[in-house]
C-alpha cells in the first residue's frame, strides 16, 4: 500500500530560497481552497555546511547533515522528497540510497518543463553544479548546447551575487547576477537556466529583464510536485 501524499522538502540552503520554493509550490498548484494545496513538511535548517565551500575543498562536507535531514523527513512518513538547492544535488546518490521515499531530481524536473528545444542555453550555477554536469548532460540529450560562465565571471559576478542574497542584500545580488545573465545572452544563449536557487530571488528583487524568459529549475521542481499531487489528491493523510 502506497503512502498518502506528503511532500518532504530538504531546505535551509539558504532559508530564503526555501521559502521561495514553498511559494512556488503554492503558485504551481491549482486550488480554490486550502484543502487542495500540497501537504508538505520542510526541514529548513540553515546550519547545513556551505556546499560551495565544501566542493572547493575549503570547508566540511554537508553530507552528514543532509543525511540527517533526509532521515527526519522519512520519520515523518513523507511519500516524496525534494531538495530545495541545486548544488546539494552533488550528494543526490548518497541521499537517495538512504531514503525510503523517492527523491526527485531538480535537473530531471527542469528537462520536463522545457516546451521547446533551444539550441543554446546559458547556465547560471555554482561551480560545483557546473562541474557535476547534470544539466549539461540532460540538455545534450535533447540536442541543446550549454553555455557556461567564464571563471572570471563566476569570481566577479556569480559568487559575490549569490552571497549577497544570503546576507540579505537582494539589490546588490540582483545587479551582479544580472551582469552574469547579460553576458550569457550576449554570447548566444537563447534561454537562461537559473540553476542556483538564489538567482531567481535576486533577479526578481530588481525586476531584472532577464528573469521573464528564463528557466527556473526550482519552479520546474514545484510544478513536478504539483503534477504528482494532482494525480493523488484524493489520498488522505491519517
Residues noted as catalytic: 85, 196
Q: Answer whether 15's CB lies under 8 Å from 44's CB.
A: yes
Taking CA atoms, 77 is separated from 11, 101, 204, in Å, by: 17, 8, 34
Q: Which of 86, 130, 77 is nearest to 106 (CA)?
A: 86
Sign of the CA dihedral running 53, 56, 57, 63: positive
Could you give the CA distance from residue 153 to residue 122 in angstroms, rounded to a whole number?
A: 13
What is the rounded CA–CA span in Å between residue 73 and residue 128? 25
Which residues face 147 on adjacent strands? 122
Q: State the Cα–Cα distance between residues 160 and 162, nearest whole angstrom.
A: 5
Q: Specify the DSSP element, H or E, that contains 41.
A: strand 40-44
Element (H, E) at 191: strand 191-194
User: Helix, strand, or coil here: 40?
Assistant: strand
CA distance 80 to 4: 10
Q: Is 208 left (phi over 0), alpha (psi -120 to 50) or beta?
A: beta
Amino acid at each position: 500500500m502506497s503512502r498518502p501524499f506528503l511532500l518532504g522538502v530538504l531546505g535551509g540552503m539558504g532559508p530564503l530560497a526555501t521559502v521561495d520554493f514553498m511559494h512556488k509550490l503554492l503558485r504551481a498548484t491549482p486550488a480554490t481552497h486550502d484543502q487542495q494545496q500540497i501537504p508538505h513538511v520542510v526541514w529548513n535548517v540553515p546550519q547545513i555546511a556551505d556546499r560551495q565551500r565544501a566542493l572547493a575543498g575549503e570547508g566540511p562536507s554537508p553530507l552528514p547533515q543532509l543525511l540527517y535531514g533526509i532521515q527526519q523527513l522519512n520519520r515523518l512518513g513523507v511519500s516524496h522528497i525534494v531538495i530545495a538547492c541545486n548544488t546539494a544535488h552533488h550528494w543526490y546518490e548518497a541521499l537517495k540510497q538512504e531514503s525510503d521515499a523517492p527523491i526527485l531530481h531538480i535537473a530531471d524536473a527542469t528537462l520536463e518543463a522545457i516546451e521547446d528545444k533551444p539550441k543554446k542555453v546559458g547556465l547560471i550555477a555554482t561551480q560545483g553544479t557546473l562541474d557535476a554536469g547534470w544539466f549539461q548532460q540532460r540538455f545534450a540529450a535533447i540536442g541543446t548546447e550549454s553555455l557556461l560562465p567564464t571563471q572570471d565571471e563566476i569570481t566577479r559576478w556569480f559568487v559575490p551575487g549569490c552571497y549577497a542574497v544570503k546576507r540579505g542584500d537582494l539589490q546588490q545580488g540582483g545587479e551582479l547576477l544580472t551582469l552574469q545573465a547579460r553576458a550569457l545572452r550576449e554570447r548566444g544563449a537563447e534561454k537562461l537556466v537559473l540553476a542556483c536557487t538564489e538567482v531567481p530571488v535576486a533577479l526578481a528583487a530588481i525586476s531584472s529583464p532577464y528573469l521573464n524568459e528564463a528557466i527556473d529549475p526550482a519552479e520546474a521542481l514545484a510544478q513536478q510536485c504539483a503534477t504528482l499531487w494532482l494525480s493523488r489528491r484524493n489520498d488522505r493523510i491519517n
